[in-house]
A = this chain, B = another copy of it.
Amino acid sequence: MRVGVYGLGRFGAFWARCLTGRYEVLAYSRNEQRETPEGVQRAEEGDVLACNAVFLCVAISAMEEVVSRIAPAVRDGATVFDTCSVKVHPIAVMDKFLPRGVHIIGTHPMFGPDSGKNGIEGLPLAYCPVRSSKENREFWLGEFRNMGLRVLSLDPEEHDREAAYTQGVTHFMGRVLNDMELKPSAIATKGYEKLLEIIEQTCNDPYQLFIDLQRYNPYTIQMRERLGLSLKKVQDQLLDTTSGEI
């Protein structure tokens, strides 16, 4: 089968490479400077959009502009997937602009080139079929499972609520700790080494992903408020006194 990958940014290039194991992969990027991943065929925009399955690998904040523009070029009966780190917003956009005859499946591969560098076997993919025949929905569920992924069906709201307090808080803390300019140290504890790994992994991702992940997930506001309250509470605890053995 031939699948199209639209966008060859850091994640798009990685995802295109993951797909080459099972499909003939055509990829398009508006940016000619982007490298073509091994095993992937570089193609014109129209050719990628004419595929039976099209994976959109564009920034969350670019979804509306991209989907509204490409909608007329998508073939009747094709399946369009987004791969965004939030689900409510991109699904609403696809549902609004894509023609009736197009199947829509929201996905969030919960990994990237860093966490998936040793293979994607066993890693989670959030799966949100929106507008799709039962047959098509089950077909793609099976395909992702055959790629070795741990497929999790959940609704977009549920995904965003949960992601705010998992991926959202991790990326937020990664950026905050990175801003503190923490450095490797000879007296690093194991815990501190893990903290540095979190910074590295989150800050390797594009800055735009971080911003979009926070801004387009309606639950991250609550998460950041909660973080602020917890910080204040722990600060206040330092004003008390006691003593004992360690």
Contacts and interface: CB of A to CB of B under 8 A. Distances in A.
B201 A190 contact: yes
Given A9-B246, A167-B189, A195 B173 contact: yes
A206 B246 contact: yes
Interface of A: 7-12, 29-31, 57-62, 65, 83-84, 108, 110-111, 114-115, 124, 126, 152, 154, 159, 162-163, 165-167, 169-177, 179-180, 182-183, 185-192, 194-195, 197-198, 201-202, 206, 208-209, 211-212, 214-215, 224, 226-228, 230-231, 233-235, 237-238, 240-246
Contacts of A245: 7-9, 12, 29-31, 57-59, 62
Work out how many copies of this chain go into the complex.
2
A231 B59 contact: no
A189 B168 CA distance: 10
Main secondary structure on chain A at its contact with chain B? helix
Nearest to A221: B238
Contact of A234 (B61, B114, B172, B238): B172
Given A8-B245, A58-B246, A169-B180, A194 B190 contact: no
A98 B10 CA distance: 60
